């Protein structure tokens, strides 16, 4: 593992509000949410960005997709719809160089001040 902020969260050095965790994947609430529900889902293995993914990571990426669906269901946003976003590199807005997926939803709850 690296010393990036997400690796430090994974190691428990920085607190987070975890939604899911197993030996390969972790999901936690974003501290600067862009939606009523905003969770980051990421591999525990440090991969800097989508550009760094290797063929040997295929199973891990498939597992992340399954976990995204599981977390959406757990948080009750699966029926009304949600977005999954991955930023790739600084030019796309990726702020932490540890590949992560943004799970965004909850707009159907009509939370004041939120727009899709």
Within a domain: residue 115? no
Q: What is the CATH number of the domain that holds 79?
A: 3.30.428.10
Looking at 29, 38, 98, 100, which residue is catalytic? Answer: 100
Total count of domains within the chain? 1
For residues 100 and 86, is the Cβ–Cβ distance under 8 A?
yes
100: annotated active-site residue: yes
Confidence of residue 108 (pLDDT cuts 50, 70, 90): confident
Within a domain: residue 95? yes
CA distance 81 to 71: 13
Tell me the whole-structure pTM to 2 decimals: 0.92
Q: Note down the domain range covering 80.
A: 5-109
How confident is the model over 28-57, as pLDDT tens digits? Answer: 999 999 999 999 999 999 999 999 999 999
pLDDT average, residue stretch 85-107: 96
**Taking Cα atoms as reference points, which of 68, 66, 51 lies closest to residue 102?**
68
DSSP calls for 25-51: EEEEE-SS-SSSEEEEEEESS---SGG
**pLDDT at residue 111 tops 80:** no
Which residue's structure tokens are 């992560």?
100
């Amino acid at each position: 593992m690296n010393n990036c902020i997400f690796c430090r969260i994974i190691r428990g050095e920085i607190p987070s509000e975890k939604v899911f965790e197993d030996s390969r994947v972790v999901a936690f609430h974003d501290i600067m949410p862009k939606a009523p529900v905003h969770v980051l889902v990421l591999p525990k293995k440090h991969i800097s960005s989508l550009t760094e993914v290797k063929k040997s990571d295929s199973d891990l990426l498939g597992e992340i997709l399954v976990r995204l669906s599981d977390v959406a269901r757990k948080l009750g946003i699966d029926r009304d719809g949600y977005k999954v976003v991955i930023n790739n590199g600084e030019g796309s807005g990726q702020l932490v160089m540890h590949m992560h997926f943004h799970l965004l939803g909850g707009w159907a709850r009509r939370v004041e001040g939120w727009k899709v």
